[in-house]
């Protein structure tokens, strides 16, 4: 029987093309953890933990420590094909640790695909894409936003997500520039919890003439009552994002009537196993969903894309564009984006390979 023989973590810091600004702060590097799970026959599954400490709990150092200290001992010698059983074992071993779980989950699915000779999406009952993607714009200035949006429109993107939650004056100037640039194409807005409920409604009233398709997380994550208040009075559909970290929070938000849609970030919730549960709860409650992003490196992006390909929502583009915001990626062969679509490989597993030179260059030495 094939067994897990070795587990390796790599802490990396990969530079972004430009500082990325949102209501929660600014960052200019992707300080993530890459994971390799090797089986007894030398096959390697790849995973990623896409931690952003200024945005959510979890850190690069913490993820590497938890995997090396707690998860590695319980996984070595186990059958890597028993993914559901192993994820339950992990849940019984450490509390929380969504990013550590995600890295392991992605790596196990990659390894399972390589063992079976199938792409991950086929293991899940789907086909390898392509996956439609939305372009995500940082909260820059109007000139930069208009210039960037015009370029991406020419490249074939049809949906654009704008970070708001700076000042209302700045948000409106940025939104005006974006609408001017993209014409009648779809626009999404993301407040990242920037406002109180009443402030959110005032902002939404000003945003509405620009016809955005929704407003995402207008109030802080913990304020479900405030989210419900905004949803009951908003002229725009309201999306829960930071408020719905796992299937438990999706159930709470749906039961309360706090949102019209949920943003499911596979890299944030603990991996594909948990993401499928979140989708199921949302659907059962009559709430729409879309596949979001932590602006992952290539590993996390393509892993999420395989799940999005297997469980598509035709009406809502994914937001899986992380590698396009990097100066460099860590994959030997870059992911293929074309005309607003992300294309997946028919190769077994995730269909990717690490660029060992890039891995060495970006590894953080502690």
pLDDT tens-digit series, residues 1-26:
899 999 999 999 999 999 988 888 99
Would residue 175 count as lying in a domain? yes
Q: What is the CATH number of the domain that holds 81?
A: 3.30.390.10
Contact 170, 207 (CB under 8 A): no
Q: What is the CATH number of the domain that holds 244?
A: 3.20.20.120
332: annotated active-site residue: no
Do residue 310 and residue 325 come from a single domain?
Answer: yes
| Structural element, H or E, at residue 106 | helix 98-116
Do residue 172 and residue 252 come from a single domain?
Answer: yes
- 278 preceded by a cis bond (ω within 30 of 0): no
Say what the pLDDT of residue 41 is: 97
Which residue range forms the structural domain that includes residue 272?
A: 123-343
Identify the active-site residue in 140, 152, 161, 265.
Answer: 265
Do residue 77 and residue 139 come from a single domain?
Answer: no
Average pLDDT over residues 56-80: 97
> Given the DSSP bridges, would you call strands 4-22 and 25-39 parallel, antiparallel or unpaired?
antiparallel
pTM of the predicted structure, to 2 decimals: 0.96
Do residue 214 and residue 326 come from a single domain?
Answer: yes
> Given the DSSP bridges, would you call strands 336-338 and 341-343 parallel, antiparallel or unpaired?
antiparallel
Query: Based on C-alpha coordinates, what's the Rg of the chain?
Result: 20
First-to-last C-alpha distance (Å) of the chain:
37
Do residue 127 and residue 220 come from a single domain?
Answer: yes
- Cα separation, 105 vs 99, whole angstroms: 10
Domain total of the chain: 2
pLDDT tens-digit series, residues 137-152:
998 899 999 999 999 9
Identify the active-site residue in 140, 163, 228, 277.
Answer: 163
Do residue 50 and residue 129 come from a single domain?
Answer: no
265: annotated active-site residue: yes
pLDDT tens-digit series, residues 192-236:
999 999 999 999 999 999 999 999 999 999 999 999 999 999 999
Do residue 181 and residue 238 come from a single domain?
Answer: yes
Do residue 203 and residue 320 come from a single domain?
Answer: yes
Would residue 106 count as lying in a domain? yes
Mean pLDDT computed over every residue of the chain: 96
Within 10 angstroms of residue 176's Cβ, the number of other Cβ atoms is 15
Do residue 189 and residue 108 come from a single domain?
Answer: no
């Amino acid at each position: 029987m094939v067994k897990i023989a070795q587990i390796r973590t790599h802490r990396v810091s990969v530079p972004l093309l430009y500082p990325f600004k949102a209501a929660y702060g600014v960052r200019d590097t992707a300080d993530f953890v890459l994971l390799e799970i090797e089986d007894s026959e030398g096959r390697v599954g790849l995973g990623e933990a896409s931690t952003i400490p200024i945005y959510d709990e979890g850190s690069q150092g913490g993820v590497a420590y938890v995997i090396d200290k707690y998860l590695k001992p319980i996984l070595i010698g186990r059958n890597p094909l028993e993914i559901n059983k192993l994820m339950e074992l992990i849940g019984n071993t450490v509390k929380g640790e969504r990013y550590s779980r995600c890295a392991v989950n992605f790596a196990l699915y990659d390894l399972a695909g390589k063992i079976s000779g199938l792409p991950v999406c086929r293991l899940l009952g789907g086909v390898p894409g392509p996956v439609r993607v939305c372009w995500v714009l940082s909260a820059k200035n109007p000139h930069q936003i208009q210039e960037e949006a015009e370029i991406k429109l020419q490249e074939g993107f049809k949906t654009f997500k704008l970070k708001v939650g700076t000042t209302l004056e700045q948000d409106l100037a940025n939104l005006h520039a974006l609408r001017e640039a993209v014409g009648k194409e779809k626009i999404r807005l993301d407040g990242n919890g920037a406002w109180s409920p009443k402030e959110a409604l005032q902002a939404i009233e000003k945003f509405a003439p620009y016809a955005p398709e929704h407003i995402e997380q207008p109030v802080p994550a913990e304020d479900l009552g405030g989210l419900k208040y905004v949803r009951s009075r908003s002229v725009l559909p309201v999306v829960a994002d930071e408020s719905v970290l796992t299937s438990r929070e999706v159930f709470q938000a749906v039961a309360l009537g706090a949102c019209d849609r949920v943003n499911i970030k596979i890299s944030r919730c603990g991996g594909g196993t948990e993401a499928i549960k979140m989708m199921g709860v949302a659907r059962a409650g009559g709430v729409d969903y879309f596949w979001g992003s932590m602006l992952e490196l290539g590993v996390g992006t393509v892993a999420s894309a395989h799940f999005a390909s297997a469980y598509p929502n035709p009406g809502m583009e994914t937001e899986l564009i992380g590698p396009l915001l990097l100066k460099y990626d860590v994959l030997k062969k870059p992911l293929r984006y074309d005309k607003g679509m992300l294309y997946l490989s028919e190769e077994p597993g995730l269909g990717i390979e690490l660029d060992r030179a890039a891995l060495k260059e970006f590894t953080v030495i502690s």
